[in-house]
Structure 1
Amino acid sequence: MSSVVRLLSDLIAFSTVSHTSNQAITEWVAERLRAQGFECEQTRYLDGEGVPKFNLVAKRLPLDSQEKTGGSSDDRSENETGLAYFCHTDVVPADRWNGPGGNPFRAVIEDGRLYGRGSCDMKGSLAAMLAVVDGLDAAQQSAPLWIVCTADEETGLRGAKELVQSSPAYRDLVAHDPVALIGEPTELRVVYAHKGMSGFRVVSHGKAAHSSTSRGVNANVLMIPYLQTILELHERVQTDPLMRDDRFDPPTLTFNFGISDHAEATNIVPDRSEVWGNWRTMPGVDGACLMSDAKAAAEQLGLNFFSYKSVEPMESRTDDPALIRMCELASPYGGSEKPETVCYSTDGAVLNELSHRIVCGPGSIDQAHTVDEFIELKSLEDGVALFREAAHAFAMRS
């Protein structure tokens, strides 16, 4: 068993579903990195349910040189730019798991794949970077290295937001402005831009009563006219040329919606009806007009309107030398010679103070969040090789 497979198996064994604490895995990663000479900052916050969550910023400076901070990275040679690797330690629920072995938190290898919750999204990536760090000679390091692990990426990027707002170690990282490698699963393709997210919720209130009486007020009555607005918004994002960006696939805002009156029995008049809508924003195409039109229609009908906190899209310069270099490094492992776009979101959306954001990691997004999540062993091993080359390119002596 290779070192990266052992590391990934250990990481999967931590049940870090987003509604639980990630303290144990954070401390485990920090202990490993301290043994490799990293200084570790662990910051704590409580999520909306009062569960303690932890972010980790681990940093290792070159042994024989002073850190260079401030100014433009264009003034530094390539291997003095520094490298900051970003990942999240939480995973989505695994209640319906049907992968080999029956236990989502016990890694199983079968037919060249490693199965387990988080194997692809994104503990496989973290395992690959930890394996790289284990083999890096600190004496050959020419620029700072960071390993950053956040909580709650799967639930609105909460951990990254807390990191940006309250971590002194992250402030230090921003001052250096290294290459920021967000290791989400891209099949080792290099991504320079991804979509964000925005949306709303509309609520209609009625009065519950037995359906045989006339004392109830059905909350759906006022909601039904509003559904016409939802349909119009859905059709509009598919046809309005001003809401397209052909760099993405699909090139639209992909408006999605859902409806529920929470009715559990036909003999009870529903006293609450809800509709939600959301869309995937793109750089320069935020769909703000959708929000304003949805709100105006709700208010006209006397419905309660609530907007969600939006997630910004991410976009890096395609002429960034670090991005171009990363494409060169990734090409032998299946990456394109040119950077690409994806339609999902990452912590990179929150890290907008950093100039060199790149999304690239082993595994396929097609396997993320599935009931039999896995990562191909070849992709995992290739991830180790590519991350090693990235570390040498941006933080090690030639």
Structure 2
Amino acid sequence: MSLAVRLLSELIGFPTVSHTSNQEITEWVAKRLASFGFECEQTRYLDGEGVAKFNLIAKRSPHCSTSDSGKLSEPGEDGVSANSGEGSVVAPENQMGVAYFCHTDVVPADRWAGPGGKAFQPVLEGNRLYGRGACDMKGSLAAMLAAVETVKQEDQSAPIWIVCTADEEVGLRGARELVRSSEAYQDIVRHDPLTLIGEPTELQVVYAHKGMSGFRVVSHGRAAHSSTDEGVNANVSMIPLLQTVLELHERVQSDPMLRDDRFDPPTLTFNFGISDHAEATNIVPDRSELWANWRTMPNVDGACLIDDAKAAAEALGLEFRGYAAVAPLETPIDDPALLRMCQLAQQYGADQKPMTVCYATDGAALETLSHRVVCGPGSIRQAHTVDEYIEVESLESGVSLFRDAIQAFAMK
């Protein structure tokens, strides 16, 4: 069994569904990296449900003092702590360093149907390693850990960072918190290295992806027994808004100003739903909720949809709430770091030109970094499935590509 397969098997064993704490896996990764000379910052925050979540930034400079090398910082009372220490080697002009980003949370696995019957007990069957997170995206983290363990610190000429965030699957909360509060993240910004977001792309190089925007509308009524006339059905006020929402749904399919043909599909892919949460037919519903969202693109944000929906909702006396938007990602297609990654990835079957994808990643929150590239082993088609897996061949190719990237951007 290869190092990458062993590492991934251990990572799968941490049941890091987003609503639970990711403390154990974060500490496991930090201790492993510390043993290879990385300085680590862990930051802690509480999510909306009061669960403790952890982000990790591990950095290895070309040369570190013995007193600092591998020192592990613990989060303080404010949730933030950091080690400082600058490398003593000046990198060649074409070597900017590498910052690898991944998330440690996974989607729920309540309906798991993979081999073995247990989502967090990895199963190697043929050329596939099964388990929740095998593809999205613990396989990528295992590949980077395996790659960096073969790189000697004395051969580095620029820094290497490995960043693990929480809560990517639930609104990029961890990455947003990292950008907001981490001094170690600001160190990455000052260096502005190749920023490698290791999501599963089958090792294709992605330069742009969609974001997300949307809104929620609430209609308030008054509950009562349905045999009386004392209730106010919240659905009544909501019904007229449905016509507006239907028109918006149709508009994003037909309006040429709301398209970007670099993406497939090239539209905002408007989606919506409505519920009054009724549990019995003899109770007048006192609350009706409508939600709508769409996938934004770098040149098409759909702000006009929010304006139209808000005006219609407020005219009906309904409560309107806009979502916290997730920005799309776009790195200039002629960015030198992007083009170099395309050259490296070609050896592993990737296309010569970078591509676009329609999902979002933590990269959307990293707007202060200039050279963002999404690339990693595994296929998005296996992500979030009831029998999630990664092909071992893809995993091993990911190790090789990540090693090549480190060699190109951070080694002598």
Shorter-chain TM range is over 0.9
TM-score scaled by length of structure 2: 0.93
CA distance in 1, matches of 2:291, 2:320: 10
Query: Counterpart of 2:278?
Result: 263
Asked if residue 230 in structure 1 is aligned to residue 255 in structure 2, the reply is: no
User: For residues 67 and 221 of structure 1, do their structure 2 counterparts lie closer, same or farther at Cα, with a shift above 3 Å needed?
Assistant: farther
Asked if residue 305 in structure 1 is aligned to residue 305 in structure 2, the reply is: no
Query: Counterpart of 1:86?
Result: 101
How far is 1:269 from its partner?
Answer: 1.2
Cα contact 2:238–2:288 (8 A) shared by 1? yes
Q: Matched residues, percent identical?
A: 74
Asked if residue 42 in structure 1 is aligned to residue 52 in structure 2, the reply is: no
Query: Counterpart of 2:351?
Result: 336
User: For residues 149 and 293 of structure 1, do their structure 2 counterparts lie closer, same or farther at Cα, with a shift above 3 Å needed?
Assistant: same
How far is 1:77 from its partner?
Answer: 2.8
Asked if residue 352 in structure 1 is aligned to residue 374 in structure 2, the reply is: no
CA distance in 1, matches of 2:263, 2:56: 32
Query: Counterpart of 1:376?
Result: 391
Cα contact 2:90–2:157 (8 A) shared by 1? no
How far is 1:138 from its partner?
Answer: 1.3
CA distance in 2, matches of 1:297, 1:98: 44
CA distance in 2, matches of 1:392, 1:309: 38
CA distance in 2, matches of 1:229, 1:212: 32
Asked if residue 66 in structure 1 is aligned to residue 82 in structure 2, the reply is: no
Asked if residue 200 in structure 1 is aligned to residue 215 in structure 2, the reply is: yes
CA distance in 2, matches of 1:63, 1:310: 40
CA distance in 2, matches of 1:91, 1:154: 7
User: For residues 67 and 303 of structure 1, do their structure 2 counterparts lie closer, same or farther at Cα, with a shift above 3 Å needed?
Assistant: farther
CA distance in 2, matches of 1:137, 1:40: 18
Cα contact 1:191–1:339 (8 A) shared by 2? yes
CA distance in 1, matches of 2:398, 2:121: 21
- The one-letter code sitting in structure 1 at the alignment partner of 2:7 is L
CA distance in 1, matches of 2:315, 2:44: 43
Q: Deviations over 1:230-278 (max 9, x none)?
A: 1000000000000000000000001000111101111111111111000
Which has the larger helix fraction? 1
- The one-letter code sitting in structure 2 at the alignment partner of 1:66 is S
Cα contact 1:86–1:181 (8 A) shared by 2? yes
Asked if residue 317 in structure 1 is aligned to residue 339 in structure 2, the reply is: no
Cα contact 2:63–2:89 (8 A) shared by 1? no
Q: Residue 84 of structure 1 aligns to a residue in which SS? A: strand
- The one-letter code sitting in structure 2 at the alignment partner of 1:48 is G
How far is 1:67 from its partner?
Answer: 5.2
Q: Deviations over 1:334-385 (max 9, x none)?
A: 2110000000000111111111100000011111111111111111111011
- The one-letter code sitting in structure 1 at the alignment partner of 2:2 is S
CA distance in 1, matches of 2:21, 2:374: 26
Query: Counterpart of 1:179?
Result: 194
Cα contact 1:68–1:176 (8 A) shared by 2? no
Gap runs ≥5 in structure 1: 70-75
CA distance in 1, matches of 2:232, 2:55: 47
How far is 1:207 from its partner?
Answer: 1.2
Query: Counterpart of 1:11?
Result: 11
CA distance in 2, matches of 1:113, 1:264: 44
Match of 1:133 among 125, 129, 148: 148
Gap runs ≥5 in structure 2: 65-86
How far is 1:7 from its partner?
Answer: 0.3
Q: Deviations over 1:185-206 (max 9, x none)?
A: 0010000000000000001111
User: For residues 67 and 217 of structure 1, do their structure 2 counterparts lie closer, same or farther at Cα, with a shift above 3 Å needed?
Assistant: farther
CA distance in 2, matches of 1:113, 1:119: 10
> Stretches of 4+ moved more than 3 A in 1?
none
Query: Counterpart of 2:289?
Result: 274
- The one-letter code sitting in structure 2 at the alignment partner of 1:51 is V
Q: Deviations over 1:168-190 (max 9, x none)?
A: 11111110111000000001000
Asked if residue 148 in structure 1 is aligned to residue 170 in structure 2, the reply is: no
How far is 1:68 from its partner?
Answer: 5.0
CA distance in 2, matches of 1:210, 1:116: 48
How far is 1:214 from its partner?
Answer: 1.5
Q: Residue 393 of structure 1 aligns to a residue in which SS? A: helix
- The one-letter code sitting in structure 1 at the alignment partner of 2:298 is P
Query: Counterpart of 2:259?
Result: 244
Query: Counterpart of 1:20?
Result: 20
CA distance in 1, matches of 2:403, 2:172: 27
Match of 1:296 among 311, 328, 333: 311
CA distance in 2, matches of 1:159, 1:174: 17
How far is 1:321 from its partner?
Answer: 1.0
Q: Deviations over 1:27-73 (max 9, x none)?
A: 0000000000000000011100111110000000112862559xxxx
Asked if residue 118 in structure 1 is aligned to residue 140 in structure 2, the reply is: no
- The one-letter code sitting in structure 2 at the alignment partner of 1:125 is S
Q: Deviations over 1:109-165 (max 9, x none)?
A: 123111111000000000000001111111111110000000010111010011011
Asked if residue 57 in structure 1 is aligned to residue 73 in structure 2, the reply is: no
CA distance in 2, matches of 1:265, 1:375: 44
Cα contact 1:160–1:347 (8 A) shared by 2? yes
Query: Counterpart of 1:73?
Result: none
- The one-letter code sitting in structure 2 at the alignment partner of 1:383 is G
Cα contact 1:202–1:298 (8 A) shared by 2? yes
**Which stretch has the larger CA shift, 261-270 or 187-196?**
261-270
